[in-house]
Amino acid sequence: MKNSQLYKGSLTTIVMKLLEENGRMYGYEITQKVKEITKGELKITEGALYPALHKLEAEGVLEVEIENVDNRLRKYYKLTEKGTSETVNRLAELEEFIKNMQSIVNPKLSF
Amino acid sequence: MKNSQLYKGSLTTIVMKLLEENGRMYGYEITQKVKEITKGELKITEGALYPALHKLEAEGVLEVEIENVDNRLRKYYKLTEKGTSETVNRLAELEEFIKNMQSIVNPKLSF
DNA sequence: AATTAATACATAGAAGTCTTAGGTATATAA
DNA sequence: TTATATACCTAAGACTTCTATGTATTAATT
């Protein structure tokens, strides 16, 4: 997931947000979407993504639908009900995080 | 460093920014300062901070001045020349990171 | 025709960061 | 006198991500 250490810990939040936005997506699609949105700046590695998806599925945050497209396997993931409410919390946490980081980096603007 | 995973990877950037801002600080002071700035939302644990300070010192990013205040040891850290220029990079990366995360979370606002 | 790139999944081992849980020691407040 | 605040520290484990590798199909390039 790129060189910068900063992205550590944000992968699952990114995945959940994208699924909230797009209904359902498969792994490879997620990597391409993130690359596109961030104009190539953020590249999610498959070695990080697939285990993360499996973990979220095991936790009941995501559910999977396997399909065969062009003789190639695709695993579509979407948020469960639990996952949807969990995503609300994650996004609130992300907003707090960004706010806190901006308070530290730009103390003059925090009031 | 709090419950949210998001803060992983941002500790050294926070430390470097605070030192750039305040000239020199000691470990305990940094933990208190962050707590104050973020209104208690972000608590840096000492188990994370002290090893991070030692690593930054070993890398030549920070240098230390040991002083005795009220019969108690204090290790003041400040940025080296290398550390100062490194901080510029770190803050640019942080800005990029925040921008990218906002592009993902709020795709309508990114243009 | 053969090779490379793109699509699509996966895992194992290593690296790195942070948490938890302890430890030492002094000064102050209850 | 006991707890809280100040001030440093480390070790073991948890957790996340990276690197490297693997399989397999399709499309593009040479």
Q: Do B96 and A4 touch (CB under 8 A)?
A: yes
B8 touches chain A (CB under 8 A): yes
pLDDT in tens, A44-73: 999 999 999 999 999 999 999 999 998 889
Which two tokens mark A6? 């900063």
A55 is near strand C: CB distance < 7 Å: no
Residue linked to tokens 């104050």: B36
Distance (Å, whole) CA A93 – CA A13 = 9
- Dihedral through CA B5, CA A32, CA B13, CA B90, nearest 10? 180
In order of A97, B1, B44, the CA distances from B8 in angstroms are 11, 8, 11
Q: Smallest Cα–Cα separation from A23: which of A78, A61, A83, A62?
A: A78
Q: Which nucleotides of C are covered by protein (CB under 7 A)?
A: 7-13, 16-23, 25-28
* A30 CA, D25 C1': Å apart: 20
- Residues of chain A found within 8 Å of residue B102, distances taken between Cβ atoms: 98
- Which CA-bearing residue is nearest the C1' of C18? B48
pLDDT per residue of chain B (111 residues) written in tens, 0 to 9? 776 899 999 999 999 999 999 999 999 999 999 999 999 999 999 999 999 999 999 999 999 999 999 889 999 999 999 999 999 999 999 999 999 999 998 877 655
pTM > 0.85? yes
- Dihedral through CA A15, CA A19, CA A22, CA A23, nearest 10? 160
The nucleotide closest to B30 (CA, C1' atoms): D7
| Beta-bridge mates of residue A98 | none
The nucleotide closest to B32 (CA, C1' atoms): D6
